Amino acid sequence: MKNTAVRMLLILSVLFMISACSLIYDKHVEWETVKPKTFPVLNATGFAPISLQKSTHETQRMLMAIQASKIAAYAELAEQVYGQQIEGNVTMADLLIENQQLSTSVQGIIRGAKVVKSYPLGDVYTTELQLNFEDVYNIYQANQSRQEVKEVSYF
C-alpha cells in the first residue's frame, strides 16, 4: 500500500514535470499595423464680424476678422473631436433664482485640418475647415502605430 502511494506520487510528479516543460519554450511575436476601414471627415465653419474688429484701418479689421474666423472654426472642430465641458451654477434664495451662470470650455489639439474656403460674406468673414481623419491617422502613424499580432513562432 505504501509502495503504491510512493509509485503514484512519483508518476504524478513526472507527469507534472513533463507538462511543465512547455513553459520553458520562448516565443517570437511579429506585429502588423492595422489600418481602419473607414475614416470620418469633419467640417467646421467659423464666423467673425469685420466692422466690430478693434482697429481704425479697414484692411487691418479685415485681417483680424480672417484670423478670428479661423480660430472660431478650429474651436468648432475641437468641440466635435473632444466634446465640450459645460459647468452650471444656480443660486437660490427663498425658492427664487437669484443668479444663474453657465460656462463652457473646450480643450484639445487639432492636427491635419485644412482650410477649404475663406471669404467675406457681407460684414462677416467666414472660414470653412475640414478635418479628414485619414490625414490624422497618417500623421500619428508616423510617430506611433497601433499593431496586431501577425505571427507567433515558438522555439
Predicted confidence at residue 147, as pLDDT, reads: 65
| Beta strand segments in the chain, E | 27-33, 41-49, 85-93, 96-105, 114-121, 124-132, 147-154
The angle formed by the CA atoms of residues 140, 146 and 149, to the nearest 5 degrees, is: 160
Predicted confidence at residue 143, as pLDDT, reads: 76
- Its pTM stands at 0.65
Predicted confidence (pLDDT) at residue 150 exceeds the cutoff of 90: no
Distant-in-sequence, close-in-space partners of 146: CB < 8 Å, separation ≥ 6: 33, 34
Predicted confidence (pLDDT) at residue 69 exceeds the cutoff of 70: yes
Predicted confidence at residue 94, as pLDDT, reads: 79
Helix (H, G, I), strand (E, B) or coil at 26: coil
Predicted confidence (pLDDT) at residue 79 exceeds the cutoff of 70: yes
The angle formed by the CA atoms of residues 57, 63 and 65, to the nearest 5 degrees, is: 100
Question: Regarding predicted confidence, which is higher, 102 or 28?
Answer: 102
Give me the residue spans of the domains in the chain.
27-154
Question: Regarding predicted confidence, which is higher, 43 or 103?
Answer: 43
- Which residue is listed with cell 459647468? 87
